[in-house]
Chains A and B, each alone.
Chain A
Amino acid sequence: MSLAVDLVMVLLILTAAVWTILARDRRDAVIAFIVLGLLLSLVWMRLLAVDVALTEAAVGGGATGLVLLRACARLLPVEADGALPGLRLQVAVGVLCAVVGACLAAVILSPPEPAPSLAPAVAAHMEDVGLKNPVTVVLLAYRALDTLLEKVVLVLGLIGVWALAPDLFWGGRPASLRAAVPSGTLTFLARVLPPIGVLIGIYLVWNGADHPGGTFQGGTVLAAMWLLVMMADLGDPPETRALRLRRLVAVGPALFIAVGLAGFGMADGFLSYPPGYAKPIIVAVEVALALSIAVILGLMVAGPAAKEPDQ
């Protein structure tokens, strides 16, 4: 019975995937992709990975979908999608892709017995860190270096997006996010939702220490609220030269590095936490990171500066 549900899910996912590729209109493709993102977050629930499900819904489907939808709107007057190339080439590439897929499927069908896992090792040291959500422990303690470097990836990505501004506009505001059709509902939502959303975002970060949730999920919800306000035209995107904004972007990674380096003096070295204080330190780092992530995600969706800076 339960497997039947999974089977239906897989069929829906593959339909959405094929539609994403074959749809003639790029807007249809993007919508199919967003649907796929939602289905995938359900899959992550089925795989009992709630943290990933939240991230996939917020970032994978949500934020990515928004970026793609905006691109569609702006591409409309510029360029149409070309059609797929001729049938013969399609068959040749199709065979190649099918071979790759078959190789991967064969690997999946012959799993090692017993399946290897680091779960016991994770469990063995959870006490030392003092948090109850194992995924947060992995992200902020055992593999904190990856998490830190990936924040650096986000900052570099933002610089990369900003770098695309014409010289004249450097430091100015990104293009307005105003929805094409001013909608009363959107304005209403943008007035009502943000206070609630901000609370949810903070709750997700706070809660992430012991339950599913965490910096990304919380940060994305905060970013979504900010974007909603901008889309409803209740606020313009900020000037990219504003140093206050820059510092909000940098505060999360900077605090993370500072805490990491403080570990040299106060604990066992870089990115280790003094025993007994791990939890408050990690929560503080997560709050700062969530703030930075919210600002970075919002700014990456908004895009490079599109107006001259104000005098």
Chain B
Amino acid sequence: MTKIHVTTTVNGETAEFLTDPRETLLDVLRNQLGLTGSKEGCGTGDCGACSVLVDGVLVSSCLVLGVEAQGKTIETIEGMADPKGDLHPLQRKFIEHAALQCGFCTPGVLVAAKALLAQNPDPTETEIRYWLAGNLCRCTGYDKIVRAVQDAAAEMRGAA
């Protein structure tokens, strides 16, 4: 099987890898680039645990091939805190509100919530719940997630 050379940008840095064309972006991120924050829950685009941004668009990285990353800009959970290590407001608010238990879905929820706030800085509870409908969480019952997103949104609006 011929592997394909791909050059892409991940969290602001150039990344190169060789990929079998059947390999998903999620597998490349986890197994080749060592970015294990994105999780595989279902592998079929139903659970959202592998959420990343590709050129600013929220997608399930299990439904993207690694070869499709050529020339794209990828953002993952690993790029969410700033380079000094200060957490993103969403990350801090998830901790404050205890908006996670096992944590498996949390990277995907955070990436999805960040994408929501980028286009809607003041979402209603309904908007948050619909936007995050593709991020399954079996622990929290979602209430604390929604409150953490609302609180983070309020802080980010105040800080802007």
**A, B from the same assembly:** no
Q: Which B residues are closer than 8 A to A by beta carbons?
A: none
